[in-house]
């Protein structure tokens, strides 16, 4: 079956997607409520404190990297996701109870942010790689793009709903509603037809598994390039909670409803970017460069927008370009990585992209406090442009990079005819791996 929504023809993926969008809406409601709680109720518009919360939430991606990639490659991903999703729901319930009862303090949010980050550190690589178990290799790129569409549809709905609910019932009840939303995804995991899952090749249990993942990446110039680009944009560019909240509160003097609307507005662009990605048969590195360049330019223009309406329009462009970049990067990495290595490589990618947040978020928050939110947006713009330059250099250096299988081994060919053996794999003549330029 061809078309933008072809993965939905698969029962397991359709069931998973239905449960995931409900949970994702709840997650975005909680993120919006948490940022608002810190910025307006527990502090007096302190962007640095919000940066610390974001840093603590993403620090486990790097700290737990030796365990998260191993878990995604060696454990049953369905069962692992049931544990991580249940843990995320319980933590949302705990923070909700503290907030509703009026006991919540800033240090409580710090602790829960770190614990939520620890659960998400195991959940994210398992969830990313579980897609291939649901649909198989042929529809993987389409399913990844549809996952992004679902996630960003939730990003559009969740913050807008949260903004209204915060004004009516308060932030604590938003946390409790998010806790309830995890019932949907847990139910979907329980109802999957396990006999129809596409079993991936599991890596043998051995010491040095994570080091093997790093060696695998180091031998691949395309993966090295993607990791570096993702580090720059993830560390300094994807700090949207800080960018949007500080511009909303301190520049445009908006309330909770208007703040939620801005986050939802950016999600409109993200959905468009994800749907466009779903139409493409194969991702390519040139598109990665375009996404990074437009992302950086969009942040630069957003930084100088004079009013709320024009700023919201720029957020649509930023959302589309950010989604184009992240979806293309994720698809490229998954499609060109062997199933036995995919969990570790994705965990490293996410750790590099999100693990840099503990560095970038406090810096961006401090800049917003010290010099103003517009200068913080400027830092993100520089990161996007810098990532685009790296990608252009790669395309110029490896103009005809090809990745393929020769005698059961993945090999990379370059302009000078050099071949580098990357990893021993099982022969699979039906595999179709993307080239450097596409």
At 305, give phi and psi (nearest 5°).
-65, 130
Using CA atoms, how far apart are residues 353 and 209, in angstroms rounded to an integer?
20
Least confident of 23-32, 149-158, 262-271, 396-405: 396-405
Instruction: Extract the tokens encoding 341.
Output: 């290595």
Which residues contact residue 207 at a Cβ distance below 8 angstroms, ignoring those fewer than 6 apart?
none
Task: Tell me what pLDDT residue 405 has.
Answer: 52
Name, of 87-96, 210-219, 423-432, the range with top average pLDDT: 87-96
Q: Please check whether residue 70 is in contact with residue 129, taking contact to mean a CB–CB distance below 8 angstroms.
A: no
Q: For 122-137, what is the mean pLDDT?
A: 84
Q: How confident is the model at residue 413 (pLDDT cuts 50, 70, 90)?
A: low
- For residue 221, count CB atoms less than 10 angstroms from its CB and return exposed for 0-12, middle for 13-18, buried for 19 or more: middle
Q: Please check whether residue 37 is in contact with residue 99, taking contact to mean a CB–CB distance below 8 angstroms.
A: yes
The pLDDT of residue 437 is above 80: no
Task: Tell me what pLDDT residue 88 has.
Answer: 97
CA distances from 316 to 158, 266, 269, 293 (A): 16, 5, 4, 15
Q: At what angle do helices 339-355 and 47-63 cross, to 10 degrees?
A: 160
DSSP state, 205? P
Q: For 189-194, what is the mean pLDDT?
A: 92
DSSP 317-328: HHHHHHHHHHHH
Q: For 111-137, what is the mean pLDDT?
A: 88
The pLDDT of residue 183 is above 90: yes
User: Each residue of 340-357: pLDDT tens digit?
Assistant: 777 778 778 877 776 677
Cα torsion for 192, 147, 14, 87, to the nearest 10°? 30
Report field, pTM of the whole predicted structure over 0.75:
no
Using CA atoms, how far apart are residues 325 and 388, in angstroms rounded to an integer?
10
Using CA atoms, how far apart are residues 114 and 118, in angstroms rounded to an integer?
6
Q: Which residue has the higher pLDDT, 144 or 419?
A: 144
The pLDDT of residue 339 is above 80: no
How confident is the prediction for the chain on average, in pLDDT?
Answer: 83
Instruction: Extract the tokens encoding 417.
Output: 């005819």
The pLDDT of residue 309 is above 90: yes
Which residues contact residue 187 at a Cβ distance below 8 angstroms, ignoring those fewer than 6 apart?
19
Task: Tell me what pLDDT residue 199 has.
Answer: 65
Q: Distance of alpha carbon 312 from its chain centroid, rounded?
A: 22
CA angle (409 as vertex; 406, 415 as ends), nearest 5:
60
């Amino acid at each position: 079956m061809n078309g933008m929504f072809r993965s939905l023809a698969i029962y397991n993926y359709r069931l998973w997607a239905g449960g995931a969008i409900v949970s994702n809406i709840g997650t975005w409601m909680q993120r919006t409520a948490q940022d608002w709680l810190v910025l307006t109720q527990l502090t007096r518009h302190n962007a640095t404190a919000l940066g610390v919360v974001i840093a603590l939430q993403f620090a486990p991606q790097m700290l737990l990297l030796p365990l998260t990639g191993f878990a995604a490659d060696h454990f049953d991903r369905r069962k692992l996701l049931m544990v991580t999703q249940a843990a995320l729901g319980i933590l949302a319930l705990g923070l909700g109870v503290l907030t509703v009862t009026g006991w919540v303090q800033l240090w409580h949010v710090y602790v829960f942010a770190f614990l939520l980050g620890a659960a998400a550190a195991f959940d994210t690589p398992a969830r990313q790689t579980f897609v291939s178990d649901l649909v198989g290799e042929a529809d993987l790129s389409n399913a990844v793009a549809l996952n992004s569409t679902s996630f960003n549809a939730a990003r559009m709905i969740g913050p807008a709903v949260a903004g209204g609910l915060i004004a009516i019932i308060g932030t604590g009840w938003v946390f409790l509603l998010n806790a309830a939303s995890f019932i949907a995804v847990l139910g979907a995991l329980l109802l999957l037809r396990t006999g129809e899952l596409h079993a991936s090749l599991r890596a043998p249990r051995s010491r040095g598994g994570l080091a093997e993942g790093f060696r695998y990446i180091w031998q691949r110039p395309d993966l090295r390039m993607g990791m570096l680009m993702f580090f720059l944009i993830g560390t300094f560019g994807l700090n949207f909670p800080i960018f949007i909240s500080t511009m909303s509160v301190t520049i445009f003097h908006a309330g909770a409803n208007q703040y939620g609307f801005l986050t939802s507005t950016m999600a409109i662009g993200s959905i468009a970017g994800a749907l466009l990605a779903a139409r493409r048969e194969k991702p390519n590195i040139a598109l990665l460069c375009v996404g990074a360049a437009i992302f950086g330019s969009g942040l630069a223009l957003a930084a100088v927008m004079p009013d709320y309406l024009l700023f919201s329009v720029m957020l649509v462009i930023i959302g589309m370009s950010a989604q184009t970049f992240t979806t293309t990067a994720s698809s490229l990495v998954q499609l060109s990585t062997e199933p036995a290595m995919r969990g570790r490589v994705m965990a490293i990618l996410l750790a590099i992209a999100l693990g840099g947040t503990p560095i970038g978020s406090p810096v961006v928050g401090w800049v917003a406090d010290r010099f103003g939110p517009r200068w913080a947006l400027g830092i993100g713009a520089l990161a996007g442009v810098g990532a685009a330059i790296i990608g252009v250099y790669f395309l110029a250096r490896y103009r005809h990079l090809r990745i393929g299988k020769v005698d059961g081994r993945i090999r990379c060919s370059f302009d000078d005819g050099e071949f580098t053996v990357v990893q021993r794999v099982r022969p699979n003549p039906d595999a179709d791996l993307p080239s450097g330029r596409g």
